Amino acid sequence: MMKRSTLGWGSVGALALLLIGLTIIFNYTLAGAQLDLTQHHLYTLSRGTRRILKSIHEPIDLYFFYSRKTADGVPQLRAYGDHVENFLREIAADADGKIRLHIIDPRPYSVEEDRAAELGVRGTPVNEAGSKFYFGLAGTNATNGHQAIPFFDPRKQRFLEYDIAKLIYQLAHPTKPRIEWYSSLPMSGGFNPQSGQMRQPWLAYRQAEQLYDLHTLKPNATTIPAGTRVLVLVDPRHLSPATRFAIDQYALAGGHIIAFVDPLAESAVTPGSPPQPGSTDLDRLLASWGVRFNPDEVIADRSLALNVAGANGTPRLDPLIIGLGRAQMSHHDVITSGLSTVNLSTAGYLSALKGAGTSFRPLLWSSTEAMPLATQSLSGLTDPSSVLNGFKPTGKRYVFAARVSGKVKSAYPHGAPAGVKLPAGTQVLTQALKPLQLLVFADSDLLSDYLWVRHLNLFGETINEAWASNGNLLLNSLDNLSGSDDLISVRAKAGFTRPFTRVAALRRAAEARYRAQQQRLQAQLQQTERRLTLLQTQRDHKSTLILTPAQEQQIEHFQAERVTIRKRLRAVQAGLVRSIDALGTELKVINIIVMPAIFALAALAGAALRRRRRRARQHSGSKS
């Protein structure tokens, strides 16, 4: 018996030494290895992000400023902070040494805090002593360029990977992207012959000019210049056949295009002239890209109509000028996810053509209180509010903006149009080489100042105050499409914060029962008060109120019932707590006991199977 016991304890000791040795070996051989078992692969880098990391030529330093001790007091913020840190570590590990990650916890009034402010990471004050909470990312490249995410907003956690990938891409490609811009509207300013004065450029155009290498595309251009990252077309009219063919070739080569088409351009070229109804020069191209746009119809929306000043200065509802809120924007696209309001004027609508082979994802849409109107019927309209007379909404939602991507067909399958002379050596494409990336908007007026910005005069200086997100919509579009196809392919992921769905369901069910009983109690209280009021009015003015035995019995019955219902309400609340505690206990048992027991049994079964096979081999060997 002693020999068998000694052998058993020796086996346990040997097994313990073996586990310790395997742990040490795995720490070295499997360092950095991970298995992402989350439902939406929150810790797995997308293919686009991996390709961006592979394209880095010179080292990039990332500085993650995170006030960990401050976040400890907010469990949800601490959990998200740990998620961001782990995600940054995964990016650095996958960059083959091209990214150096620095994790910094800035102390108040420290050099690290000054460094955060210098790199563009802002701190949020947390107390009167001046302490700040930092939760942002900054990066620098070899040429002293820097980019920053001032603060990781938990509300934008779906776009965490995109924001970080964009920062890295901008550091790896620090030159301003080239933008080719064509507009039939007076966006860039210039001399106004009618007034004899200079026109100011639109604010949206000025902002784009400051951030990008902007070039004007001529209406008779025969090619889209090499190196163009984005082609912007605003109300594209008066384009020559050669220019339309050049746009077609650019799309087949996998170009990035932002198009603003409009059935009725309110922002006319000459101030005071009537709007420009009619077709744009992109009808044929849009059809080849899988987009249907009808320039003969304008959308009016009764639910989203804005108040505008009438002829006599009184406000009136204009269903042709509409304000889109969060409910009319895509929450899953980085272009529209952070916007609050976008205003449109005499906008058209878009839809996908069947069999086009491209994806069509709506970004902006109307309410169900909308209807299309004939464009020609609005050209001489003096009172837009009259549109509401006899208004008949269709109940449909009309798409105002969409993202389109995929390999497109040529609008000119037989080559260049007749009469078009191409530059020598031009290679004519008849099939798509790469997927087109297109953002198309059914309104060009949304870029005009009057729909989103106020110009205020403050001590002789003009201050621009944005009251809608139209400008940010344009900048987000340029920012997204001016990156590489890899960056554009980085999609939004599911949120990091997972709701306790079963707990929420239990709470909703209990609250429903609670609410029903509470409403019944309130109804009984009101009924009793009415009866008491009636008794008050019927009593003698010279005598006190004397209740009959039946009335006293009724009041006692109600009081007893009220006590009973209150007990039931407390029982419902107690049952809710017990249900949640039972669910928590169930999860703890599964995580602490059941799962380890399953793994232990699997290990014991494997060991028993190996021992049985070894004995079988020894038995067969002894026979031979």
Query: Could you read off the pLDDT of 110-147 as tens digits, one per residue?
Result: 899 999 999 999 988 877 666 889 999 999 998 888 99
Identify the weakest region by mean pLDDT among 25-39, 105-119, 551-565.
25-39
State the pLDDT confidence band at 300, using cuts at 50, 70 and 90: very high
Distance CA 182, CA 239 (A): 9
Distance CA 569, CA 553 (A): 24
pLDDT for the residue 541? 45
pLDDT for the residue 523? 66
Distance CA 382, CA 398 (A): 25
Section 386-401 average pLDDT: 94
Average pLDDT, the chain: 82
State the pLDDT confidence band at 302, using cuts at 50, 70 and 90: very high
47-171, which class in CATH? alpha beta
> Which conformational region is residue 272 in: left (phi greater than 0), alpha (psi within -120 to 50 degrees), or beta?
left
The model carries a pTM of: 0.70
User: For 445-511, what is the HEC assignment?
Assistant: HHHCHHHCEEEEEECCEEEEEECCCHHHHHHHHHHHHCCCHHHHCCCCCCCCCCCCHHHHHHHHHHH
Identify the weakest region by mean pLDDT among 73-82, 184-193, 395-404, 579-588.
579-588
More confident residue, 574 or 352: 352
Section 188-202 average pLDDT: 76
Pairing of strands 342-345, 315-324: antiparallel
Please state the φ and ψ torsions of residue 586, each to the nearest 5 degrees: -60, -45
Section 447-455 average pLDDT: 92
The single-letter code of the amino acid at 221 is: A
Residue with tokens 């996908």: 352
Using CB atoms within 10 Å of the CB of residue 355, give its burial: 0 to 12 exposed, 13 to 18 middle, 19+ buried. exposed
Could you state, in order of their start, the residue ranges of all structural domains in the chain? 47-171, 176-377+392-417+428-482, 499-527+563-590
pLDDT for the residue 542? 44
pLDDT at 470 over 60: yes
Residue with tokens 């992921």: 493
**Dihedral over alpha carbons 194, 199, 202, 207 (to 10 degrees):** 160
Give Cβ neighbours of residue 316 (< 8 Å, ≥ 6 apart).
307, 308, 309, 310, 383, 384, 385
pLDDT for the residue 436? 96
pLDDT for the residue 71? 83
More confident residue, 576 or 351: 351
176-377+392-417+428-482, which class in CATH? alpha beta
Pairing of strands 132-140, 123-125: antiparallel
Give Cβ neighbours of residue 228 (< 8 Å, ≥ 6 apart).
178, 179, 180, 250, 255
Give residue-wise pLDDT tens across range 490-511: 765 544 455 555 555 655 665 5
Distance CA 284, CA 297 (A): 17
Instruction: From residue 311, give the alpha-carbon distance in Å to each of 86, 382, 385.
Output: 60, 9, 12
Nearest CA to 265 out of 448, 408, 537, 397 is that of: 448
pLDDT for the residue 1? 46
pLDDT at 6 over 60: no
Per 3-state DSSP, what percentage of the chain is helix, strand, and coil (rounded to 5)?
40, 20, 35
Instruction: From residue 115, give the alpha-carbon distance in Å to each of 66, 68, 611.
Output: 13, 17, 62
State the pLDDT confidence band at 611, using cuts at 50, 70 and 90: confident
Q: What separation, in Å, do the N-terminal and C-terminal C-alpha atoms of the chain show?
A: 32
pLDDT at 552 over 70: no
The single-letter code of the amino acid at 579 is: S
Residue 542: count of CB within 10 angstroms of its CB: 5
Using CB atoms within 10 Å of the CB of residue 482, give its burial: 0 to 12 exposed, 13 to 18 middle, 19+ buried. buried
Asked whether 80 and 497 are in contact (CB, 8 A), the reply is yes
Nearest CA to 98 out of 139, 57, 138 is that of: 57
> Which conformational region is residue 406 in: left (phi greater than 0), alpha (psi within -120 to 50 degrees), or beta?
left
pLDDT for the residue 548? 65
Instruction: From residue 563, give the alpha-carbon distance in Å to each of 231, 496, 512, 555.
Output: 73, 45, 20, 12
Asked whether 490 and 476 are in contact (CB, 8 A), the reply is no
Q: Look up residue 418 and give its two tokens.
A: 């007749």
Section 527-545 average pLDDT: 53
More confident residue, 6 or 205: 205
pLDDT for the residue 269? 46
Identify the weakest region by mean pLDDT among 163-167, 411-415, 568-572.
568-572
Distance CA 60, CA 576 (A): 52
Q: Which residues of 184-216 are buried (b: 16+ CB within 10 A; e: fewer)?
A: bbbbbeeeeeeeeeeeebbbbbbbbeeebebee
Give residue-wise pLDDT tens across range 57-107: 999 999 999 998 888 877 778 888 999 999 999 999 999 999 999 999 998
pLDDT for the residue 353? 95
Kind plus residue range of the DSSP H or E element containing 170: helix 160-172
Residue 240: count of CB within 10 angstroms of its CB: 17
Section 147-164 average pLDDT: 89
State the pLDDT confidence band at 537, using cuts at 50, 70 and 90: low
**Dihedral over alpha carbons 96, 99, 105, 110 (to 10 degrees):** 140
Give residue-wise pLDDT tens across range 227-258: 999 999 999 988 999 999 999 999 999 999 99
State the pLDDT confidence band at 543, using cuts at 50, 70 and 90: very low
pLDDT at 467 over 60: yes
